[in-house]
Amino acid sequence: MFATMKSWKWLTGGAYTWGFIARVIVKAAVLFAVINVVYALLDPIPFLGRLSLYNLLVPGRERLPYGESAASNNLSLSSIEAMFGSHEISQPKPADEFRLIVIGDSSVWGILLENADTLAGQIDALNLTIDGRRVNAYNLGHPILSVTKDLMILDQAMHYQPDAILWSVTLESLPYRDQLTPPLVANNAPRVRDLIARFDLPIDPNDPALIERTFWDRTLIGDRRALADWFRLQMLGFAWSASGIDQVIGDYTPRSNDFSTDPSWNAFPDETNIPADALAFDVIAAGHTLAGDVPVLLVNEPIYIADGENSDIRYNAWYPRWAYDQYRTLLTDEAAANGWQWIDLWDAIAPEEFTDSPVHLTPSGSRQLTERIAAALLERITR
């Protein structure tokens, strides 16, 4: 009976009970605040990103995480550490491996291609050897066009002992005005600022496109999206390893073959001289400096060349002829001035081998491109 009355007093809010509850709430709030402050000061997301179930309980992914389709067992995230932690490149490097890293845009990542049909997958299928070691190509391409994004990925990739670097570029990845727009770049402001300072790049480190994380953003509450992304990536590893699906390939809208008479490109309304400093050749130069003694083969990737309406004005939906022709001249001059090893494959693939964009290839087109690149790689790297 006494116990029942005491319980009833607690439920009905005796004076001492409400005081006890208030003290518990205050202590919990203080503890929660302290945890958030300590979390913000430690900023553990980079460390946490390196902790991964991939290459441990499940195989490493063959390409960097990208996409939001539940059926593809994939997601896009901003943590470079978590992206690399999930990738097969995080495995120890075998003694007999010639490690080739492949960087670039969505054409390298392999939109509408199975892993085996990507540039890296096709290179592996050739069973090449260099210096008596088997060539193992690692697909570190990431969709969205920006050579600064490529440089950021290359900076991380240098921790994994590459023996050679294959860097695929196109004109759309080079305008300085667009370098910071990819979400992966915008959400990694400290990395980008470090690269700007280290290589004296003509990019404004205070550009508003770079997302500045406040103290609140670095707390446990503010970081909940990054934590959730990291956890989702780990859990998706089991479904991905069971299915092998990291991209659902379905129907698509073919690239355009007919165009308007619009001659504009990027910030240029019509035919004009594109100044070399409007394009991020300095970023490509920084990549070569970053690589040090590791050889780099730069590839001007193939583009779709239309033959339809107004194809005398535009090669494709991205490029008016005047702009792309100037770009090739500028790239040729920059490569010669800097001593870059490069290969110009802009017209190497037939139009019917392109899928939904001016740079995305069919499996057959990818195989043809790989054969051209492999020949250049063996010639340039081994001589």
Banded pLDDT at 34 (limits 50, 70, 90): low
Q: Mean pLDDT throughout 333-342?
A: 97
> For the segment 190-206, what is each residue's pLDDT rounded down to a tens digit?
999 999 999 999 999 99
Q: Mean pLDDT throughout 267-283?
A: 93
Cα(50)–Cα(38) distance, integer angstroms: 20
The Cβ-side half-sphere exposure at 108, using a 13 Å CA radius, reads 30
Predicted TM-score (pTM) of this structure: 0.89
Residue 344 forms beta bridges with which residues? 300
Residue 127, Ramachandran bin (φ over 0: left; ψ between -120 and 50: alpha; else beta): left
> For the segment 210-249, what is each residue's pLDDT rounded down to a tens digit?
998 776 666 666 677 778 888 899 999 999 999 999 999 9
Query: How far is CA 374 from its chain centroid?
Result: 23
> Which domains are present in the chain?
39-382 (3.40.50.1110)
Flag whether pLDDT at 7 surpasses 60.
no
Cα(138)–Cα(132) distance, integer angstroms: 19
Q: What angle do CA 51, 56, 62 make, to 5 degrees?
A: 90
Residue 30 forms beta bridges with which residues? none
The β-bridge relationship of strands 164-169 and 97-103 is parallel
CA dist 164 → 46, 140, 175, 256, 275 (Å): 26, 13, 26, 35, 31
Phi, psi of 111 (to 5 degrees): -60, 130
* Residue corresponding to tokens 């390298």: 108
